Amino acid sequence: MTHDVIVLGAGPAGANAALAAAEAGLKVVLFEQQPAAGGQVWRAPLPGLRMPSSPEKDSGDALRARLAASAVEIRFGRTVWSVGQHFRVDAVGPGGNEHAEAPRLIAATGAHERVVPFPGWTLPGVIGLAAATVLLKSHGALPGTRVVVAGCGPLLAVVAAGILKAGGTVAAIADLAGPGDWLKALPALASQPRLLMRGAAWALKIGGARIPVHFRHGVRAADGGEAIEQVRLAPVDAAGGFSAGPEITLAADALCVGHGLVPGAEIPRLFRTAQTFDRRRGGFIPRLDACGRTSLNGLYACGDGVGIRGALVAEAAGRLAGLASAHDAGALSADAFAAAAGQARARIAQARAFSDAMAEMMALRPAQVAAIPPETVVCRCEDVTRADIEAAHADGARDLNQLKQFTRCGMGPCQGRFCGDVAGELLAAKVGSREAVGAFTARPPLRPVPLADLMGAFDYADIPIPAPAPL
């Protein structure tokens, strides 16, 4: 064993898990694909780029400073591709393939964006809402010169206000929710005054710039040739399906659109731990105990990768998982663990109303999926349309993995991350339930990995070729 615990992902959850375990005296290694910690929510600006201050950047800077001052061994710029039993983690990085081994593993791999398909969503210039936050926070770039912002949840305001702050132009905002939905969420949002104020500041920025906000509107289509040229919005009902009413056509060279987040629970799934389908939490999530322990001994999971709850909960849940790993390793007494865990759990309880309200606004709306036109691509990697998926059902496909074999849906390089949720929903509409159609089986590599990086330099004579097969 090279370490006491391995942590995957340096967002709010993983970084806090690593810090808590290291503070308790464990030898911790933290793997992260990006060049700096912070995850998507507190993402660091690229090296050499100075960005104006913001509460998110300040939170990220504070976390990065704590990590830098800690005993955590941090390996940035690593693509983890293999995670094996007794917890061996293999990653490719600047020095080729490397691995670490530890009796405990904390998976904090975050979430990815859900975009419910519409005609034209594959056009260059159409990007996710979370994608837009990366451009704004980290790359110092605008999504376009005239941007439509659409979808649901708090990222709408984050992105629109961010574009304005960076000097860009927002043509309009289209929100699947109505003002009534936001009002309904208000008491829960008020439970976190600092975050509510942040939201109010975004709203003021947007209001001050007189940006048209179309409530209860969704994207009917994005039109263009080699890239997006215009966006057509149409009214939707409370369930997310299109309703009667005029379309709004807007010229735009960028559309930032997102419909919530999907937990990236690949590591627990790879180990086949118990999981459950939770619509509000974003999809299939691992079953955990109160401290982030999965059903597999030594495997912990935390953050948005185990259900969408946001950064506030991720920080505390990460700390809890780190503490639990230290306690299980014998590095933290029962009393010390109980006291520290109690504080972290209290923070999660305090944040619950807020995170539930936000997750609710970002949950998948089945009527929106039902409105996808038949010829629209669902699996971007393999050009599989809704009609292809339904034809596979007619041909006997009853679960997602069978659908994959029949159509190649989910077989491409994104490994089903962008189609799995919606394809599951389409199939479930025919078969009966999401539980029945299941999730794509998780397979290594966790992300596509270049063969060149994987192999490194080698001599043919050193390849450990097994004994010849029988003749």
Binding flag, residue 267, other proteins (CB under 8 A): no
Instruction: Tell me whether residue 86 or residue 208 sits nearer to other proteins (CB atom).
Output: 86
Instruction: Tell me whether residue 364 or residue 431 sits nearer to other proteins (CB atom).
Output: 431
- Which residue of 90, 175, 356, 421 would you call a contact of other proteins, by CB under 8 A? 90
- CB 51 → other proteins: shortest distance, Å? 7
Q: Where in 397-436 is the site for other proteins (CB under 8 A)?
A: 398-399, 401-402, 404-406, 411-415, 417-418
Count CB neighbours of 332 within 10 A. Answer: 25
- How far apart are alpha carbons 411 and 379 in whole angstroms? 9
- How far apart are alpha carbons 155 and 14 in whole angstroms? 22
Query: Crossing angle for the helix pair 12-23 and 311-328, nearest 10 degrees?
Result: 30
Instruction: Tell me whether residue 188 or residue 411 sits nearer to other proteins (CB atom).
Output: 411
- Which residue of 82, 169, 243, 350 would you call a contact of other proteins, by CB under 8 A? 82
Q: Where in 273-312 is the site for other proteins (CB under 8 A)?
A: none
Binding flag, residue 470, other proteins (CB under 8 A): yes
**β-pair partners for 446:** none
- Which residue of 3, 112, 259, 281 would you call a contact of other proteins, by CB under 8 A? 112
Contact string (CB under 8 A) for other proteins, positions 30-69, x = contact: ---x------x-----xxxxxxx-----------------
Q: Where in 162-191 is the site for other proteins (CB under 8 A)?
A: 166-167
Would you give the distance in Å from CA 102 to the centre of its chain?
A: 26
Contact string (CB under 8 A) for other proteins, positions 365-404, x = contact: ------------x--xxxx-----------xx-xx-xx-x
- Which residue of 59, 70, 97, 230 would you call a contact of other proteins, by CB under 8 A? 97
- CB 376 → other proteins: shortest distance, Å? 12
- Which residue of 25, 103, 140, 178 would you call a contact of other proteins, by CB under 8 A? 140
Q: Where in 219-258 is the site for other proteins (CB under 8 A)?
A: 225-227
- How far apart are alpha carbons 58 and 464 in whole angstroms? 50
On the question of a cis peptide bond just before residue 286, with omega within 30 degrees of 0, the verdict is: no
Instruction: Tell me whether residue 26 or residue 89 sits nearer to other proteins (CB atom).
Output: 89
Instruction: Tell me whether residue 140 or residue 178 sits nearer to other proteins (CB atom).
Output: 140
- How far apart are alpha carbons 81 and 78 in whole angstroms? 9
- Type of residue at 21: A
Q: Where in 117-136 is the site for other proteins (CB under 8 A)?
A: 122-128, 130-132, 134-135
Binding flag, residue 103, other proteins (CB under 8 A): no
Applying CB under 8 A, the span of 13-21, 196-204, 420-428, 463-471 interacting with other proteins comes to 463-471
- CB 151 → other proteins: shortest distance, Å? 14
Q: Among candidates 208, 218, 262, 255, which has minimal Cα distance to 239?
A: 218
Would you give the distance in Å from CA 271 to the centre of its chain?
A: 20
Query: Crossing angle for the helix pair 179-190 and 334-362, nearest 10 degrees?
Result: 170
Say if residues 356 and 52 touch (Cβ distance below 8 Å).
no
Binding flag, residue 451, other proteins (CB under 8 A): yes
Say if residues 256 and 159 touch (Cβ distance below 8 Å).
yes
Residues written for the chain: 471
Instruction: Tell me whether residue 226 or residue 335 sits nearer to other proteins (CB atom).
Output: 226
Q: Within 209-265, where are the H helices?
A: none
Beta strands across the sheet bearing 5-8? 73-75, 28-31, 5-8, 104-107, 299-301
Instruction: Tell me whether residue 93 or residue 366 sits nearer to other proteins (CB atom).
Output: 93
Binding flag, residue 447, other proteins (CB under 8 A): yes
Contacts of 29 (CB under 8 A, 6+ apart): 2, 3, 5, 6, 7, 72, 73, 74, 75, 100, 102
Instruction: Tell me whether residue 90 or residue 328 sits nearer to other proteins (CB atom).
Output: 90
